[in-house]
């Protein structure tokens, strides 16, 4: 008899689209759509009998929503290109079996995306053709249950037309600035939503692959392939520091974060001679503080939780590693979380969970459990200390 196939856990789902990007949809976006639905229901039901408490609840399911982006490209592979919204229920630790919304993008492959924190919508960098599209949040009213949805906006981002493939997109925390990094190494920063250019550096890198704003929006880190990580002062458009791969590391991702005492630091995920590592820089002196080897494989995806307590790494072999930033020790490791390369990671706004996606068309949400103190280990440690004390006094008595 053959082996029985082990069913996938409820927090792991395949939606038929190879994914390259993932983001948690801000709660206020979800709530605002729920209010709109509730108001419309109220207007249409004035002539009906009073609703019960259950009926007064908005039709959209409350909770956590995630947005995934990806596809099979412009060819005739039969694999769709799409933006996919799914619901995650924390109580049951499960992703929705079916997408809440699946917006096809025809032959255009959404490769990178950035959500505006103000709830304006999101920008997607398409791989084919090489353009950026803006999408608005919408409400799917075609069924009895009004669901959170998306639609292609009429807004045209002319400043990002005919500029080639954009490999990195990022909004600052308050949604007032947008950074875009091109395959050609061009770095652009715009005021949002006016799209007034703030910074335009044609030769920032040979090719630009990652961007991240500091929490106050004053600094921007840009990472190029085969070159240094540059830190920019956004207001002056000047380079504050160029962080070199002095030990011939290969940099892959960069993220600003804060320590427990609110000191701003910069993490860079890199491949060193030991394997996948995380490098840490002091943002006052721009000196390298530490280099911590995490895993043997390269780090294909990297992110930091909003509270700064956890770092997440994904690998080409599909593993997920969550690291405690305080001691840089592995907190959680899931081998073969995906069957293919982990392409993107995103922490939930409350830092309690991390979402991961892969080119194998899968999405997964991992809840980060608090590590409990092992009482047995504590008692063993105390016993050893007592033995050492007893041995010391015994030796003192013998010497007398």
The answer to whether residue 7 scores a pLDDT higher than 70 is yes
The pLDDT score that the predictor gives to residue 63 is 67
CB 148 within 8 A of CB 37: no
Looking at per-residue pLDDT, the higher value among 279 and 398 belongs to: 279
Domain 244-370 = CATH 2.130.10.10: yes
Cα separation, 334 vs 237, whole angstroms: 41
The model's confidence at residue 335, banded by pLDDT at 50, 70 and 90, is very high
If one compares 262 and 393, the residue with the highest pLDDT of the two is 262
**Rounded mean pLDDT, 69-86:** 90
Q: What is the pTM of this model?
A: 0.86
pLDDT of residue 225: 81
Lowest mean pLDDT among 27-31, 37-41, 44-48, 304-308: 44-48
Q: What pLDDT, on a 0 to 100 scale, did the predictor assign at position 370? A: 83
Give the range among 53-57, 197-201, 232-236, 385-389 with minimum mean pLDDT.
53-57
| Strands across the sheet containing 12-14 | 12-14, 362-367, 353-358, 342-347
Where is average pLDDT lowest: 36-40, 51-55, 60-64, 87-91? 51-55
Identical fold, 7-36+60-162 and 164-236: no
Domain 7-36+60-162 of CATH type 2.130.10.10: yes
pLDDT, one tens digit per residue, over 344-359 is 999 999 999 999 999 9
pLDDT, averaged across the chain: 88
Q: Domain 164-236 belongs to what architecture? A: Beta Barrel (2.40)
pLDDT at 60 (0 to 100)? 38
* Of 57-66, 169-178, 196-205, 383-392, the least confident: 57-66
Confidence of residue 35 (pLDDT cuts 50, 70, 90): low
d(CA 80, CA 28): 30
More confident of the two residues 37 and 127: 127
Residue ranges per domain, the chain?
Answer: 7-36+60-162, 164-236, 244-370
């Amino acid at each position: 008899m053959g082996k029985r196939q082990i069913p996938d856990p409820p927090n792991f789902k395949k939606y038929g689209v190879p994914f390259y990007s993932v983001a948690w949809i801000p709660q206020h976006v979800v709530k605002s759509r729920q209010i709109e639905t509730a108001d419309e229901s109220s207007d249409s039901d004035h002539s009906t009998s009073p609703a019960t408490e259950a009926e007064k609840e908005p039709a959209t399911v409350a909770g956590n929503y995630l947005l995934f982006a990806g596809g099979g490209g412009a060819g005739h592979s039969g694999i769709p290109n799409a933006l996919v919204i799914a619901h995650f229920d924390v109580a049951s630790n499960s992703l929705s079996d079916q997408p809440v919304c699946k917006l096809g993008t025809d032959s255009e492959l959404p490769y990178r995306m950035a959500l505006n924190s103000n709830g304006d919508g999101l920008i997607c960098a398409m791989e084919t053709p090489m353009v950026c599209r803006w999408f608005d949040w919408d409400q799917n009213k075609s069924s009895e249950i009004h669901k959170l949805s998306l639609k292609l906006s009429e807004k045209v981002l002319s400043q990002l037309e005919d500029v080639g493939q954009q490999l990195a997109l990022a909004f600052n925390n308050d949604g007032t600035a947008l950074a875009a990094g091109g395959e050609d190494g061009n770095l652009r920063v715009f005021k949002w939503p006016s799209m007034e250019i703030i910074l335009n550096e044609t030769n920032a890198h040979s090719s630009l692959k990652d961007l991240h704003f500091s929490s106050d929006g004053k600094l921007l880190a840009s990472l190029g392939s085969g070159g240094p990580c540059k830190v920019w002062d956004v207001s002056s458009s000047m380079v504050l520091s160029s962080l070199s791969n002095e030990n011939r590391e290969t940099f892959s991702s960069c993220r600003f974060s804060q320590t427990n005492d609110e000191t701003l630091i910069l993490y860079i995920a890199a491949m060193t001679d030991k394997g996948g590592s995380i490098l840490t820089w002091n943002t006052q002196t721009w000196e390298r503080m530490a280099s911590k080897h995490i895993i043997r494989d390269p780090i294909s995806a990297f992110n930091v939780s909003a509270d700064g307590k956890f770092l997440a790494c994904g690998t080409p072999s599909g593993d997920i590693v969550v690291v405690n930033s305080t001691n840089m020790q592995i907190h959680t490791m899931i081998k073969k979380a995906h069957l293919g390369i982990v392409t993107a990671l995103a922490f939930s706004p409350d830092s309690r969970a991390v979402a991961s996606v892969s080119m194998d068309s899968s999405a997964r949400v991992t809840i980060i459990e608090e590590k409990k103190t092992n009482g047995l280990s504590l008692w063993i440690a105390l016993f050893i200390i007592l033995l050492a004390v007893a041995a010391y006094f015994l030796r003192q008595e013998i010497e007398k």
